[in-house]
Amino acid sequence: QVQLVESGGGLVQAGGSLRLSCAASGTIFSINDMAWYRQAPGKPRELVASVNSGGRTNYADSVKARFTISRDNAKNTLYLQMSSLKPEDTAVYYCNAALRSGRFQPTRDYWGQGTQVTISS
C-alpha cells in the first residue's frame, strides 16, 4: 500500500513564502513523474508544477519564477518552495505521483490528501 502525505501548508501574508513537502511511503519500486496540483473553491484542479525522474521541471505560467519544485529520490519526497505568494495562490494543494509498487506492476497515479494554503492580502 502506498501513501502520499503532504505537509507545510498554512496561512501567510501576501509576499510571504511557504514550503510544501510530500512524502511517499509504502511498497514503492520506482517513482516516475511527481507533481503538485491545486484546487481553489469553485474551480477545477490545476497543475502547478511537475518534475520527472530525471529532474526535468514544468511550471504553470501563473507560478513561474515564484515557485520551485524539487524532489529527493533517496527519500521519496517531493517539495514545492513557494515565494512571492499572492492571494490567488490560495487553494488546497495536492501531491501526485506516478509510481510502480513492484517490478512487474503497472504505473499508477497516487494522490495525497491535500494541504490548505491560504494567502491573506
> How far, in Å, CA of 50 to CA of 19, rounded?
15
Question: In whole numbers, what is the pLDDT of the chain averaged over residues?
Answer: 97
The pLDDT tens digits for 16-34 are 999 999 999 999 999 999 9
Phi, psi of 89 (to 5 degrees): -85, -5
The pLDDT tens digits for 79-99 are 999 999 999 999 999 999 999
Which cell numbers in the block locate residue 83? Answer: 515565494
The pLDDT tens digits for 49-65 are 999 999 999 999 999 99
Q: What pLDDT is attached to residue 57?
A: 98
Q: What pLDDT is attached to residue 70?
A: 98
How far is CA 107 from each of CA 53, 98, 99, rounded to the nearest angstrom? 13, 6, 5
